[in-house]
Chains A and B, each alone.
Chain A
Amino acid sequence: MDTLLTAEIVASSPQFRRKSSIFVDAIHDLPEKADLAPAQLYSTESGRLFHSGRIVIITVGLPARGKTHISVALARYLRWLGVKTRIFHLGDYRRATIPFGEDMPDDYFYVNATASSVLLRQKIVRKCREDIYHFLNHENGQIAIYDAVNPLASGRRSLAKEFAKHDIETLFIESWCDDERIIEANVRSVKISSPDYVSWKPEDAVKHYLNRISARIPQFQTMEEKDLNYIKMINAGERLIVNNRSFGYLSNRIVFYLLNLHIKNRRTYFARAGVSLDAASYKADASLSEQGEDYAQKMTECLLAHREAEKETMVARGDVNYEPRPLKVWTSTRRRTVETAKYLHEKGYTVRQRSQMSQLNPGVCEKMSERRIRAEFPDEVAKHELDPYHHRYPRAESYHDLAVRLEPIILELEREQNDLLIIAHESVLRVLYGYLMACNAADIPFLEFPRDEIIEIIPESYQNEAQRIHIPNLPEEIIPASPEDLKIPVPPSGFVSPIQGLGSPADGLATPQSGLRTPREPERISQQHVEDVV
């Protein structure tokens, strides 16, 4: 059994810092000891949650059933929970094994394939499996997602047996679909964008693609193996069948997550709360100042105008009946976020207050200038600089604490079918953005949300895209950061904020975190995955 460490010990060790921020690649530059992820509940020496073993999640399903979408979404969630997860796309191995320009044998997926095809199949699977073992045994991986078609019961049973020999549990996730519309939409959105189908009519391309699948994979057996652990997702989540032989903590969590997952194309907007009267005080929970009121109004106008413009663009493109999804607003229970939503509320939009969305608690650092924090807590500042994500000032919350607290919000975010505006403190926006964009935990404290921008997140098949909407005519002093911001994380000594003195009191109150890292491009959770045309 793992020796447990407290987050603090882990946090104060420099080797735990992640070097890269791109998901798939970052796994390879992880140090031997594990990193902590955004919402990991506790830490262990091996980096694995001790009340769950190592699991291989094996996808089952014909192409165009959303397997990869599910794999990517699951990886995003698990990784955020602090479970070291990696996706292994069998297709990538197939392409790497079959020389470029050569086609895979016609009988590759057949039950009674020729000996040479069976050998080829075994070779490809073996290589992939070796990598999975390496990840789980030598890289402290906890969950490997094995993304493949796995059409036959016999093959699935032998996979489970093989992994069991290595003391690894298996959980099969089948995506099964008999709703032609879902399959067609999937084919259209992700399959026929390949170069093979340039200049094809979409309908013809879809038909051709589906015909190729049925010729290639003539036999597909849906999961009925009562001796295996599986979750069968029918028609993109309309129904879930759970065959629970020995579900542990993580498997149950995965069911809950899948229950909330949908593939709707809705938007999430992030906006900061307005400036408040007693902005330096966390505990005061003050109302909006006059500037804050002004911001609330301008933000509202800007967002509504943006949505209107988007609608017009869609209509102009020929989608005459385009209606944006209804907009909902979530705020924290802190006054200034509730009051920032006032105008939207007056216009009849639904506003929900969520107590989990209160800002990061600054603890003893409340109302303190950076200079004072450095003078009074030099040891804490040193620890903080080593790991701004996990370090917790006395009586304060760390970003990690905040992420754990926000988990129900994350699930509701996945479930929500309407467009959603989230008005919250910058610390909360950082964590939520970090989830949606799969940011590295170490980068989350440094994400920037200047007040003159609304962030819009648009889901795409393999990654989410973020775009910034500019709010015009705001007084400059409220844009970069207001004194409401916590003076943590404290920047390294000698750091000069490029925006120092911008409308802030003499004491160096300008936000220390701005400019620490260059603004980042939206992250991808996975490399652009080259889709198979089987």
Chain B
Amino acid sequence: MPLPLPGIYLPVNEQSDTSKICVVMVGLPARGKSLIAGKAMRYLGWVGIPARVFNVGNYRRSNTPQPQATFFDPHNEEGERMRRAAAQAAMTDMLQWFKKDQGVVSILDATNSTKERRKWIAQECAAAGIETLFVESICDDEDLITNNILEVKTTSPDYKGQDPELAVSDFRKRIGNYQKVYETIGEDEKSYPYVKLINVGSTVIINQIKDYLSSRLVYYIQNLHIKPRSIWLSRHGESQYNLTGRIGGDSSISERGEAYARALPELMRKSGIPENTKIVIWTSTLRRTIQTARHLKADTGFEKLEWKALDELDSGVCDGLTYQEISEQYPEDFKARDDDKYNYRYRGGESYRDVVIRLEPIIMELERSENVIIVTHQAVLRCIYAYFMNIPQENSPWMEVPLHTLIKLTPGAYGTDEKRFKADIPAVSTWRGKGTSATHQEFPAGGH
């Protein structure tokens, strides 16, 4: 076992042992498969599990960019041959990815609508020592399907530049063609681990789940919902420590921080809250976030929760120091942190990776919840933001999240919409560029 170096050691084998999983999506077009696949990939990537989606449609498009519905007719031999070739190409790349790039979870996004196709996938994976988890999405709610067709498929590359109405009718024909051969996962396939989601999880059948990672994925998928909602993120108002350039601590907010706290209810309104919307306020257990949310709570009467898991990244021995002091007292650590800020663990403290692990239950709760405003700290906010905006690990710790700014995130089918609202209350900038030990500067003068 490689023994860890001070400050920067990495947990070996953090993830669930060595099992590799291929998540195989199953279902007719417009059943939300890609949405689930995309979200699962983002979630896994965020918790540090290498995950990738292999979309068979993308492989097929390289040869047949904009096929007509007849291409998908099971009696169209040419179409059938080309679609099989696309599946084969995706499979080859996927196995390669597991082997070469230490992939852990792949998501095979295609209709995989026949028993024969699923058997082939299960066999290929088993031969490569990869577990399979089939995720079938079944939907017979016409409204849901129509919505999905309109929202997603009219923007699909298959129909780019075409008349939306024709696109919809062609797409319905394509679904019809798939329906001719579609076989739901049946009793004769009960040896496969699978999840069947019927009408967005109103019935869920979970079969033969063998490992913890799969159970986590199932739990995650089960918590997803498609109701419209927004998530607001804010750092605490400027704190006494921000003023003196110290990190960590549990100081109160400054006068300007208090002004931000007072401005927050109005800023929320300005950001747009749909009528009769209930919002829940989440803060950390540290003074500066509780103080920042105080007026919002009093003004709106929203429920408020204090989560220990939202506390700032623990900077261990460096708690209460300025960046200047850290670079003087722990020069090696200071450099090590710049080299790999995501994995660097403060002596006696935490790394960004550690923060992500402790935030996982928060993300589960967020997926389940509807409207939430989170008042928290820079590092924690970066991690939550990275989850929703799919920011890679190497960038997220360097992201700039200014004080006195409200971020409104509205998750959509294929990505999250972001809007920022500045309170126009001056504050220091706490952003530090790589390789500098810049003291906190007056905002917006910040020299980065």
Query: Residues of A at under 8 Å CB distance from B?
Result: 1, 4, 6-7, 41-42, 50-51, 226, 238-245, 249, 252, 255-256, 259-260, 281-285, 333, 335, 338-339, 341-342, 345, 350-356, 361, 392, 394-395, 397, 401, 404-405, 407-408, 411-412, 415
Q: List 28 A-B contacts (CB under 8 A).
A: A41-B305, A41-B307, A42-B306, A51-B369, A239-B205, A239-B208, A240-B204, A241-B204, A241-B205, A255-B206, A255-B219, A256-B219, A259-B218, A260-B212, A285-B6, A335-B3, A342-B1, A352-B13, A352-B17, A354-B11, A355-B14, A355-B354, A356-B357, A392-B285, A397-B308, A407-B361, A412-B212, A415-B212
In this complex, what residue of A is CB-closest to B348? A283
B203 touches A242 (CB 8 A): yes
When distances are taken between beta carbons in the complex, the residues of chain A under 8 Å from B4 are: 333, 335, 338
When distances are taken between beta carbons in the complex, the residues of chain A under 8 Å from B223 are: 252
In this complex, what residue of B is CB-closest to A256? B219
B368 touches A249 (CB 8 A): yes
In this complex, what residue of B is CB-closest to A244? B202
In this complex, what residue of B is CB-closest to A281? B348
Q: Within the assembled complex, what's the spacing in Å between the Cα atoms of A6 and B286? A: 12
Interface residues of B in 303-323 (CB under 8 A from A): 303-309, 314, 316-317, 319
When distances are taken between beta carbons in the complex, the residues of chain B under 8 Å from A41 are: 305, 307
Q: Within the assembled complex, what's the spacing in Å between the Cα atoms of A335 and B218? A: 34
For the side of the interface on B, what is the size category? 35 or more
Q: Within the assembled complex, what's the spacing in Å between the Cα atoms of A279 and B253? A: 36
B304 touches A4 (CB 8 A): yes
Q: Within the assembled complex, what's the spacing in Å between the Cα atoms of A285 and B250? A: 23
B303 touches A283 (CB 8 A): no
Known: A356-B358, A408-B360. A361 touches B314 (CB 8 A): yes
Q: Is B347 an interface residue (CB 8 A)?
A: yes
Q: Is B421 an interface residue (CB 8 A)?
A: no
In this complex, what residue of B is CB-closest to A333? B11
A284 touches B348 (CB 8 A): yes
A244 touches B317 (CB 8 A): no
Q: In the complex, what's the smallest C-beta–C-beta distance from A326 to chain B, in angstroms?
A: 12
In this complex, what residue of A is CB-closest to B190? A239
When distances are taken between beta carbons in the complex, the residues of chain B under 8 Å from A412 are: 16, 212
Q: In the complex, what's the smallest C-beta–C-beta distance from A367 to chain B, in angstroms?
A: 11
- Tell me the dominant secondary structure on chain A's binding face: mixed
Q: In the complex, what's the smallest C-beta–C-beta distance from A84 to chain B, in angstroms?
A: 18
Q: Within the assembled complex, what's the spacing in Å between the Cα atoms of A342 and B1? A: 8
B219 touches A238 (CB 8 A): no
B215 touches A415 (CB 8 A): yes
Contact residue among B1, B317, B319 (Cβ-Cβ distance under 8 Å from A345): B1
B317 touches A283 (CB 8 A): yes
When distances are taken between beta carbons in the complex, the residues of chain A under 8 Å from B215 are: 256, 259-260, 411, 415
A283 touches B316 (CB 8 A): yes
Q: Within the assembled complex, what's the spacing in Å between the Cα atoms of A255 and B6? A: 40
Q: Within the assembled complex, what's the spacing in Å between the Cα atoms of A467 and B218? A: 35
Q: Is B207 an interface residue (CB 8 A)?
A: yes
When distances are taken between beta carbons in the complex, the residues of chain B under 8 Å from A408 are: 357, 360-361
When distances are taken between beta carbons in the complex, the residues of chain A under 8 Å from B390 are: none
When distances are taken between beta carbons in the complex, the residues of chain B under 8 Å from A285 are: 6, 347-348
Contact residue among B16, B202, B308 (Cβ-Cβ distance under 8 Å from A404): B308
Q: Within the assembled complex, what's the spacing in Å between the Cα atoms of A354 and B319? A: 24
Q: Is B209 an interface residue (CB 8 A)?
A: yes
Q: Is B176 an interface residue (CB 8 A)?
A: no
Q: In the complex, what's the smallest C-beta–C-beta distance from A228 to chain B, in angstroms?
A: 12
In this complex, what residue of A is CB-closest to B360? A408
B204 touches A333 (CB 8 A): no
Q: Scan B78-89; emit 1 where CB is below 8 A from any A CB, else 0.
A: 000000000000
Q: Scan B205-238; emit 1 where CB is below 8 A from any A CB, else 0.
A: 1111101100100110011000000000000000
When distances are taken between beta carbons in the complex, the residues of chain A under 8 Å from B360 are: 408
Q: Is B443 an interface residue (CB 8 A)?
A: no
A353 touches B11 (CB 8 A): yes
When distances are taken between beta carbons in the complex, the residues of chain A under 8 Å from B9 are: 333
Q: Within the assembled complex, what's the spacing in Å between the Cα atoms of A238 and B194? A: 11
Contact residue among B204, B208, B307 (Cβ-Cβ distance under 8 Å from A244): B204
Chain A CB within 10 Å, residue with most, of B201, B215, B303: B215
Q: Is B298 an interface residue (CB 8 A)?
A: no
5 tightest A-B CB contacts, nearest first: A283-B348, A242-B204, A256-B219, A240-B206, A259-B215
Contact residue among A6, A51, A339, A350 (Cβ-Cβ distance under 8 Å from B3): A339
Contact residue among A1, A243, A249, A283 (Cβ-Cβ distance under 8 Å from B349): A283
Known: A256-B219, A394-B250, A411-B212. A42 touches B317 (CB 8 A): no
Q: Within the assembled complex, what's the spacing in Å between the Cα atoms of A83 and B368? A: 19
Q: Within the assembled complex, what's the spacing in Å between the Cα atoms of A4 and B301? A: 12
B205 touches A240 (CB 8 A): yes
Q: Within the assembled complex, what's the spacing in Å between the Cα atoms of A282 and B206? A: 43
When distances are taken between beta carbons in the complex, the residues of chain A under 8 Å from B365 are: 249
A238 touches B208 (CB 8 A): yes
B303 touches A404 (CB 8 A): no
Q: Within the assembled complex, what's the spacing in Å between the Cα atoms of A42 and B6? A: 35
Instruction: List 11 additional A-B contacts (Cβ < 8 Å) besides A283-B349, A355-B353.
Output: A4-B303, A7-B306, A41-B305, A240-B206, A252-B219, A252-B368, A255-B222, A259-B218, A260-B215, A281-B348, A395-B319
Q: In the complex, what's the smallest C-beta–C-beta distance from B173 to chain A, in angstroms?
A: 32
In this complex, what residue of B is CB-closest to A285? B348
Q: Is B127 an interface residue (CB 8 A)?
A: no
B203 touches A350 (CB 8 A): no
B207 touches A282 (CB 8 A): no
A338 touches B354 (CB 8 A): no
When distances are taken between beta carbons in the complex, the residues of chain A under 8 Å from B314 are: 361
When distances are taken between beta carbons in the complex, the residues of chain B under 8 Å from A405 are: 309, 358
Q: In the complex, what's the smallest C-beta–C-beta distance from B307 to chain A, in angstroms?
A: 7
When distances are taken between beta carbons in the complex, the residues of chain A under 8 Å from B316 are: 283
A259 touches B250 (CB 8 A): no
A42 touches B307 (CB 8 A): yes
Q: In the complex, what's the smallest C-beta–C-beta distance from B357 to chain A, in angstroms?
A: 6
B305 touches A244 (CB 8 A): no
When distances are taken between beta carbons in the complex, the residues of chain B under 8 Å from A404 are: 308-309, 361
Q: In the complex, what's the smallest C-beta–C-beta distance from B372 to chain A, in angstroms?
A: 11
Contact residue among A239, A255, A283, A351 (Cβ-Cβ distance under 8 Å from B1): A351
Q: Within the assembled complex, what's the spacing in Å between the Cα atoms of A282 and B348? A: 6
When distances are taken between beta carbons in the complex, the residues of chain A under 8 Å from B16 are: 412
When distances are taken between beta carbons in the complex, the residues of chain A under 8 Å from B207 are: 238-240
When distances are taken between beta carbons in the complex, the residues of chain A under 8 Å from B445 are: none
Q: Within the assembled complex, what's the spacing in Å between the Cα atoms of A60 and B347? A: 52
Known: A252-B219, A259-B218. A4 touches B208 (CB 8 A): no
In this complex, what residue of B is CB-closest to A351? B1
In this complex, what residue of B is CB-closest to A395? B250
Q: Within the assembled complex, what's the spacing in Å between the Cα atoms of A242 and B205? A: 6
Contact residue among A42, A335, A342 (Cβ-Cβ distance under 8 Å from B305): A42
In this complex, what residue of B is CB-closest to A392? B285
Known: A283-B347, A333-B11. A243 touches B219 (CB 8 A): no
B206 touches A259 (CB 8 A): yes
Q: Within the assembled complex, what's the spacing in Å between the Cα atoms of A405 and B222? A: 22
When distances are taken between beta carbons in the complex, the residues of chain B under 8 Å from A240 are: 204-207
B212 touches A252 (CB 8 A): no
Q: In the complex, what's the smallest C-beta–C-beta distance from A23 to chain B, in angstroms?
A: 25
B347 touches A252 (CB 8 A): no
Q: In the complex, what's the smallest C-beta–C-beta distance from B135 to chain A, in angstroms?
A: 14
Q: In the complex, what's the smallest C-beta–C-beta distance from A289 to chain B, in angstroms?
A: 15
B201 touches A259 (CB 8 A): no
Interface residues of B in 1-50 (CB under 8 A from A): 1, 3-4, 6, 9, 11-14, 16-17
B219 touches A259 (CB 8 A): yes
Q: In the complex, what's the smallest C-beta–C-beta distance from B186 to chain A, in angstroms?
A: 13
When distances are taken between beta carbons in the complex, the residues of chain B under 8 Å from A397 are: 308
Q: Within the assembled complex, what's the spacing in Å between the Cα atoms of A311 and B357? A: 38
Q: In the complex, what's the smallest C-beta–C-beta distance from B370 to chain A, in angstroms?
A: 11
Known: A252-B368, A255-B219, A356-B358. A244 touches B203 (CB 8 A): yes
When distances are taken between beta carbons in the complex, the residues of chain A under 8 Å from B349 are: 283
Q: In the complex, what's the smallest C-beta–C-beta distance from B248 to chain A, in angstroms?
A: 9
Q: Within the assembled complex, what's the spacing in Å between the Cα atoms of A483 and B204? A: 52
In this complex, what residue of A is CB-closest to B16? A412
